[in-house]
Structure 1
């Protein structure tokens, strides 16, 4: 299967399709990492190959992939181009959330039709969370909003920002408006603020909204600003398995490099180090697999308990992923510390998994509160 072959849902080899795209992109990865530039061509390939609509149900023009199959796609892509894989996971998790809604009897057809037509969704969730930020003002037919949202992975190649804006002057007290804003809308611009240790080519810049009009039809939800919103349980359950799958692809490549570089070596210290790396790698892979199993192909119940369990697995898996690549460098020796070896970039990139919601300290409080019956926010 070529990188530009349109997928047929009934017989798609999703891993082969993602691998074809990844191989096409692989030669430019190091240069894009040095320049900090997202690959526009990558997202053109993700559209033309059908991968950007893989999760959309077939009746809406998509590929009908399962949640786990979408994870396989991201994992395969992450083996070759980690920045693109993680940025693509941001689009994919938003589609997955809509699939959850569809499976639970809610209308997601408008989003599905946009994605099937080639839209790339951009998430601002990492900077929004419960209380959100920005300023919304009620005007005739909608809202006038201003905010800065970053990091927003893939925003340079995206079509629609899925975001939330704080509405402090709401009659019922401070509220949060969840809405979709076209990145082509008047008053929207991108500030290139992404200059980081790793995932440098993910295009995770800042979206700036300046007095942007959001019509009522583009508002999906209005909720209290200080109360845990059940929609975030859905986002957590849909998103984190996919996001971690992209990072697992990085760990796959690191382990494969060690196995190929040191094949047949029996030095005791190398064997021990390789065994320790295998333990960390197996822990990460098993936890991520369990996240997909418990998602029940996006049929999971919207509960605080499911979200807390997913977040706990995310923390432990993220630590194990970082440890896997660290031990890969330790096992191969000093060459792994050189920029001439891809382990150096993979080690920088793998650390990105620590910063997706929720970071360890916040996750511990969340999961602890839920266990003790306090609710996620205590």
Structure 2
């Protein structure tokens, strides 16, 4: 019988319970920095030190290289909880966790290079991310050809270009950079170490998720050896489709909504309107909104964890889960926004105050709609699948 203080029907065993308890405690620590980092738009170095000390970045690294080798289900548990403390930190850090989960399941790199990168994470606390988006062409997953170019030279390549929305830019090293291999006419995936030819330009200034460090990275004729070319892809999507990314995004934004839900329930229990001699939690229209919050949260969490479980347990079905994962990303991100909007209605005018936690959660949760894949891509893809698939 499962013995744990965690009251969550999605927790199925002692390993998951230990993970949930650990990241609940870490989330509380992260929350102590969240408001200030959000207000100043600064990168949360102290929060990332906490994650590094806790071994978070080894979460999805294979056990054979010293990692925890978390499943998608376990990663989802950790990220939803981290996002309750600080959604921006969970989103930024989650990219690395998702990266190793994807490469662990379908590695395109040479094993010795993957081993070296994994060991850098485990032993040195390295943080890394894939950088594909550019200011002019946008996201390569929409079919654009990157303007970042790799030109062959003696012993390797010279890479020049500019990457935007480069989450983790202040601390990422090494970088995984998508560039156009000029002499071959293919998309290449390069491993690049920071140097004086790699410049981070602070450009991230948004309404939400303000401390993800999604700045601009300038690559100024960076030389990399032949072995730095990790993989090539010729398909329109660059051969980079992965389903687990969609659930990672959904788990983070649902975690933000979950934090709003917890906050507004506590608020309703203790807030007393001047015209009433009882807490607003006893007012029927407040209970209606909180009930709607519970419906949206419960159904979203059930969808999220059931798909993660299916991914883990049935590897042979993963290629058939694309529609399900995209639909889940769409549904959960929209439901997360709805949850926070309902919480704002319960809070009334106070919810608009910059000194009120809910205001930050409201801004952060909006950003889910901008994460790849965007709504139009999901809707069109599902429509075409329904209309034209055999």
TM-score (norm 1): 0.87
Say which of 377, 383, 386 aligns to 1:368: 383
Partner of 2:222: 212
Matching of residue 311 in structure 1 with residue 326 in structure 2: yes
1:359 CA drift (Å): 0.6
Where 1:315 maps in the other structure, the secondary structure is: helix
Partner of 1:281: 297
Aligned to 1:239: 245
Structure 2 counterpart of 1:109: 115
Is 2:90 aligned against 1:85? Answer: yes
Query: Residue 37 of structure 1: CA displacement?
Result: 0.4
Q: Does the CA-based 8 Å contact 1:82-1:349 persist in structure 2?
A: yes
How much has 1:27 moved relative to structure 2?
1.9
Cα root mean square deviation, aligned: 2.6
Q: How does 1:121-270 map to 2 (within 5 A)?
A: 121-125=128-132, 127-129=139-141, 130-133=143-146, 134-167=148-181, 169-171=182-184, 174-182=185-193, 184-224=194-234, 227-229=236-238, 231-233=239-241, 235=242, 237-263=243-269, 265-270=281-286
Give deviations 1:323-361, integer Å, cap 9, x for gaps.
111111012222112112111000100111111111101
Say whether residues 1:56 and 2:61 are aligned partners: yes
Give how far 1:189 is off. Answer: 0.9
Find the residue that maps to 1:222 and give its secondary structure.
strand
Q: Tell me, in whole angstroms, the C-alpha distance in 1 between the residues paired with 2:326 and 2:177.
A: 21
Structure 2 CA distance for partners of 1:60 and 1:227, relative to 1, 3 Å: same
Residue 44 of structure 1 corresponds to which residue in structure 2?
49
- Following superposition, the deviation at residue 238 of structure 1 comes to 2.3
- Which residue pairs with 1:359 in the alignment? 374
Segments of structure 2 that go 5 or more residues without pairing to the other structure are: 1-13, 134-138, 270-278
Q: 1:270 to 1:13 in 2, by over 3 A?
A: same
> Is residue 292 from structure 1 mapped to residue 303 from structure 2 by the alignment?
no
Shift in CA distance, 199/300, structure 1 to aligned 2, threshold 3 Å: farther
User: 1:94 Cα deviation (Å)?
Assistant: 0.8
Closer, same or farther: CA 59–30 of 1 in aligned 2, 3 Å: same
How many residues align? The count is 357
- 1:11 and 1:323 map into 2 onto residues whose CA distance is 28
The alpha carbon displacement at 1:46 in A equals 1.4
- Residue 94 (1) aligns with residue 99 (2): yes
- What are the superposed Cα offsets for residues 179-207 of structure 1, whole Å, 9 maximum, x if unpaired? 2222x234211111100000111111111
Query: Can you list the C-alpha shifts for 1:129-181, whole angstroms capped at 9, x where unaligned?
Result: 243412221222222111211211111122222221123x434xx31111222
Describe the shift of the 1:128–1:210 C-alpha distance in structure 2 as closer, same or farther (beyond 3 A). Answer: farther
C-alpha distance in 2 between matches for 1:370 and 1:213: 43
The whole-number CA distance in structure 1 between the counterparts of 2:374 and 2:42 is 26
* TM-score relative to the length of structure 2: 0.84
